[in-house]
Amino acid sequence: MPVTSPTTFRTTYAEIAAKAGVSRATVSRVLNGDDRVNSDRAKAVIEAASKLGYRTNRAARALSTGRTGQIAVVIDDSPNVLSDPFWGVVLAGISRVLMVHDIHSVLMVSQLESEDSPIANYLEGGDVDGAIFLTVHKEQVVHSLVKKGLPVVVIGTPIDLKSDIVYVDTDNRLGAELATKHLLGSGCKKVATITGDISAVAGIDRLEGYKAAHKSLGHEFNPDLVAYGDWSFENAKTLTLRLLARNPDIDGIFAANDTMALGVMAAIIERGRMVPDHVAVVGFDDNLMAQTHRPGLTTIRQDIVGLGAAAAESMLAILQGETPVPKILPTELVLRESA
């Protein structure tokens, strides 16, 4: 039933074939770079195709080859995680790399509740050639997809490492160590940390880095200086107030992300103390806020676009039949005023 008119008239192989005086099979061969076609004919086909403004019909190709040229980019979370610029940038990195390879990114934002939630179901359905997960809450679902043969790349280290999920991540541990060492190395005697959500590997690793820095610099690790946060501003602020009340002599705080670092600073100011004079602060991410806040936030920069790009490249590798190894991207300390 013709609900709407066709948006455009497409030219088909049949027309090209007619114009170039060859068969559709030959058109296909030429247009797919099969070089065992007589070069004169090939030239004729190419010319006819360009004259007619040929555009390949992806649906037809997908039906025929079983490959869609589309990758799902899945955010296993509520839509508002996209309010964190981090994911937008990752997305851009993915999209850019895939687009170069003529692969489209299909965005799906929704909780992956169970193994037969609509999205999981859809992903198995074969309408995409693979899936890149930006955030994963139900790791079990991802495993089951992998087991079913779907090419999968996840961003962020999986909890269950023995599984053979392909992933890319930032070197959270080393980054956190860098941050903490900077604080300890610039004269701080008592450095606390506000962790991220430690049910996520990123949260754990950044805490591990904090501990490692203490160990490597000969400082004793004091559990009382660790406050367990959840990546959010408000929570970090509350925790910091509590921390400062209990340990008034804290003179440095490593917050596991920038948003929390801002919360930390807000708390410090509220207590009538100064950053960095009384308490130095280091964050993690180097997002826009770190740059625009006053005082500027000293933080750990991660290569966010690179993270997306790496994920996309791993996906491409899988699609080629390779089995890429996990990639861990380096970090870098960015000095501003807060520490």
> Are 136 and 158 in contact, with CB atoms under 8 Å apart?
yes
**Omega cis (within 30) before 295:** yes
38 scored as a contact of DNA (CB under 7 A): yes
Q: How far is CA 192 from CA 159, 223, 337, in A?
A: 25, 9, 18
Q: How far is the CB of 127 from DNA (least distance, A)?
A: 11
Which CB sits closer to DNA, 33 or 223?
33
> Is 223 exposed, middle or buried (CB count within 10 Å of its CB: 0-12, 13-18, 19+)?
exposed
Task: Please identify which residue in 4, 5, 8, 65 interacts with DNA, judged by CB under 7 A.
Answer: 65
Task: Please identify which residue in 19, 46, 57, 124 interacts with DNA, judged by CB under 7 A.
Answer: 57
Interaction site with its own copies (CB under 8 A):
3-8, 10, 55-60, 62-63, 66-68, 70, 73, 79-80, 82-85, 87-89, 91-93, 95-96, 99, 104-110, 121-122, 124-127, 129, 148-151, 233, 259, 262-263, 265-266, 269, 287-289, 291-294, 305, 319, 321
**Both tokens assigned to 177:** 């160590």
Sign of CA dihedral 246, 182, 84, 308: negative
> Is 22 exposed, middle or buried (CB count within 10 Å of its CB: 0-12, 13-18, 19+)?
buried
DSSP 34-54: ---S-HHHHHHHHHHHHHTT-
Q: How far is the CB of 203 from its own copies (least distance, A)?
A: 20
Task: Please identify which residue in 47, 50, 64, 164 interacts with DNA, judged by CB under 7 A.
Answer: 64
Which CB sits closer to DNA, 70 or 232?
70
Q: Determine the 3-state secondary structure of 179 from DSSP.
A: helix
29 scored as a contact of DNA (CB under 7 A): yes
152-155 and 226-228 as β-strands: parallel, antiparallel, unpaired? unpaired
Task: Please identify which residue in 60, 100, 269, 335 interacts with DNA, judged by CB under 7 A.
Answer: 60
Which entry of DNA, its own copies, none binds 263, CB below 5 to 8 A by partner kind?
its own copies
Of the candidates 326, 284, 322, the residue with the CA atom closest to the CA atom of residue 304: 284
305 scored as a contact of DNA (CB under 7 A): no
245 scored as a contact of DNA (CB under 7 A): no
Q: Which residues contact DNA (rule: CB under 7 A)? A: 1, 10-14, 21-29, 31-32, 36-38, 41, 54-57, 60-61, 63-65
